[in-house]
């Protein structure tokens, strides 16, 4: 069953074969946050607000329009060049 990254119930990434692949993709895009509940426990990885990983239909055509290609290239939530200077 394929999985994808969703934001507010809208699919924003291409489909991946496993949830682990979606987690890796979300992490590479800067959408994963590590939180810890205590000093003894290791940090947990969570998705930023509004993001979820859900089952989806398999991708049928490459080059989709909308947010999926931008998320696929990790272009969302990156600081702009102007903000970095």
Domain with 22, as residue range(s), is: 3-78
Q: Compute CA distances 53 → 18, 39, 41, 65, 80, whole Å.
A: 10, 28, 24, 20, 26
- pLDDT tens digits, residue range 19-30? 999 999 999 989
Q: Is residue 85 in a domain? A: no
**How many domains are there within the chain?**
1
In a domain, 46, yes or no: yes
Domain contains 9: yes
Question: pLDDT tens, 70-79?
Answer: 555 555 555 4
Domain annotation covers residue 60: yes
pLDDT for res 82: 53
Query: What does the pLDDT look like over 24-71, one tens digit per residue?
Result: 999 998 999 988 888 888 888 899 889 999 999 887 555 454 555 555
* 84 is a domain residue: no
Q: What's the pLDDT at 85?
A: 47
């Amino acid at each position: 069953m394929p999985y994808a990254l969703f934001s507010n119930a809208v699919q924003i990434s291409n489909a991946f074969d496993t949830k682990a692949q979606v987690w890796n993709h979300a992490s590479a895009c800067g959408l994963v946050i590590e939180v810890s509940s205590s000093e003894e426990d290791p940090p947990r990885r969570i998705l930023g607000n509004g993001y979820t990983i859900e089952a989806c239909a398999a991708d049928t055509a490459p080059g989709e329009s909308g947010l999926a290609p931008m998320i696929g290239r990790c272009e969302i939530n990156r600081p702009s060049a102007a903000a970095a200077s």
